[in-house]
Structure 1
Amino acid sequence: MTNSFMAFAITRNRGRKLYDFIYYFLISAMFIPFNIIMLPLVKQVSFFHMDNVPGLIILYIVMGLPMNIFLYSGYIKSIPTALDEAATIDGANTFQMFYKVIFPTLKPMNATVAILTFLWCWNDFTMPLVIISDQKNQTLQLAQYVFKGEFATDYSLAFASYLLALLPIVIFYLFAQKQVISGVTNGAVKA
């Protein structure tokens, strides 16, 4: 919800220098590969003692912000500003307008952002590898790396773990699929 609220504020105030700067600053962060910032990030994370699972979650939130803002702002541009004006005339403040009028309209984009973010976080191998220092806090993808040895690979255990890693993604997508499909069909019909 915070990413969509920030995208709403930026999108509705485009044309002002500050909001344009914030938008382009966030979008420019998408073009920096993780491999470039990996070493300084590891040093900062270890300095702040964030080399654990909560620290990894905070990093995923911060590093996912540019892409989420980009997706939300593109969708919010298609929502007419007449809805904002009608809510303002009815006496709603900015937060009420967003929460009661705009946010329900964002259901398809919320599902899309949730699926993309979940896929990215769930399948990520590099960031947990370099950030998490304690071996007992490994993610499932890091634990799968153990099955591949230097001279042999335990395929039965490896494929069982691959199935376990795939199952939550499929279940999550099945629940969010209806929203994504309705968003695609609604977007095709808009004039």
Structure 2
Amino acid sequence: MRAGIGRRSLQYLFAYLFVLVALYPIVLMVSSSVKTNAEIFTSPLALPKTFSLDTYRKLWEVVPFADFLMNSVVVSVTSVLLITVTSAMAAFYLARFSYRWTGLLYFFFLLGLMIPIKLGIVPLFLLMKKLGLLNSLWSLILIYTASGIPISVFILTGFFRTLPVELEEAARIDGCNHFQVFWRVLLPLIRPALGTVVIINFIHAWNDFFFPLIFIQDEALKTIPVGMMVLFGEYETDWSLLFAGLTLSALPMIAVFLMASRQFMEGLTAGAVK
């Protein structure tokens, strides 16, 4: 029994150490956001000597951070909604309907996991130019949706296949059609997978720097990762403003994870216990 208690204490010790290591960069980022540049360079690991929110107020005055924030929210939320809806319907079809082309169609989605979308940046740029979507948020939304559907279909198809077919049969006996079976019966049962899909794709769209840099030129349409680049000067950088922007940009991701964390954890552990 003592051996079991000692093993459990050791596990908790490692868990607490891991939490401290994981949270320390966040604490350092937040504390640096309320420091001056001189404090950041002289005592980067120490807590701030004085607490002031002047840096955050200055951030909104120096750069159009409100525009950057709104653009990131619009792109990320719209992309996640499109990915979730289309992927859920495609996964339901692949998991529950068996035709000659079903396996080929599933392999087509899996190709999206094997081929990096950045390899097609030149054709994508020409496509967006012909569609008139350059320097538009819709170019980012469509690209994030296309790049997020393969992994989402892969995750959701696996979850749909674990659900018993008897549930659908009982629903059809009660008069439900295919869409009602999908919407009312099966979709509520795959909330863990939906939470996983939402978190993965939201973080990808929110943090992406590459595609906004290529497709967006207008300052008012830039997202946070690209917009914050204006804080990097040629000869000097206001690091306190930069850390303040990073802190504010991290808040939506933390909020999304907290809202969907339960479903996300259930999605990760699904199948571990039969």
Q: How many residues align?
A: 189
Runs of 5+ consecutive residues of structure 1 not aligned to the other structure: none
Partner residue of 2:260 out of 172, 176, 179: 176
Map of 1:80 onto structure 2: 164
Matched, 1:105 2:189: yes
Map of 1:133 onto structure 2: 217
Deviations for 1:40-74, whole angstroms, at most 9, x for unmatched residues? 10111011111201232122212211111011011
Structure 1 residue 90: deviation in Å?
Answer: 1.9
Map of 1:61 onto structure 2: 145
Separation (CA, whole Å) in 2 of partners of 1:160 and 1:86: 54
Separation (CA, whole Å) in 1 of partners of 2:269 and 2:149: 26
Deviations for 1:6-65, whole angstroms, at most 9, x for unmatched residues? 101011124x32111111011102211133101110111011111201232122212211
Greater RCO structure (CA 8 Å; 6+ sep): 2
Matches within 5 A, 1:105-124: 105-124=189-208
Q: Would you say the 8 A contact 1:56–1:131 is kept in 2?
A: yes
Matches within 5 A, 1:141-152: 141-152=225-236
1:145–1:21 distance in 2 versus 1, CA, 3 Å: same
Structure 1 residue 163: deviation in Å?
Answer: 0.5
1:185–1:41 distance in 2 versus 1, CA, 3 Å: closer
Separation (CA, whole Å) in 1 of partners of 2:247 and 2:193: 28
1:33–1:182 distance in 2 versus 1, CA, 3 Å: closer
Separation (CA, whole Å) in 1 of partners of 2:113 and 2:268: 24
Map of 1:23 onto structure 2: 106
Identity of aligned residues (%): 34
Separation (CA, whole Å) in 2 of partners of 1:117 and 1:18: 28
Q: Which has the larger radius of gyration?
A: 2
Deviations for 1:123-179, whole angstroms, at most 9, x for unmatched residues? 011011111132220000001122223432221111111101111100111111122
Length-normalised TM-score, structure 1: 0.91
Length-normalised TM-score, structure 2: 0.65
Matched, 1:35 2:118: yes
Structure 1 residue 187: deviation in Å?
Answer: 4.1
Runs of 5+ consecutive residues of structure 2 not aligned to the other structure: 1-84
Three-state SS of the structure 1 residue aligned to 2:101 is: helix
Separation (CA, whole Å) in 1 of partners of 2:120 and 2:267: 35
Q: Would you say the 8 A contact 1:50–1:56 is kept in 2?
A: no
Map of 1:2 onto structure 2: 86
Separation (CA, whole Å) in 1 of partners of 2:150 and 2:255: 26
Map of 1:71 onto structure 2: 155
Amino acid at match of 2:124: L
Q: Would you say the 8 A contact 2:117–2:147 is kept in 1?
A: no
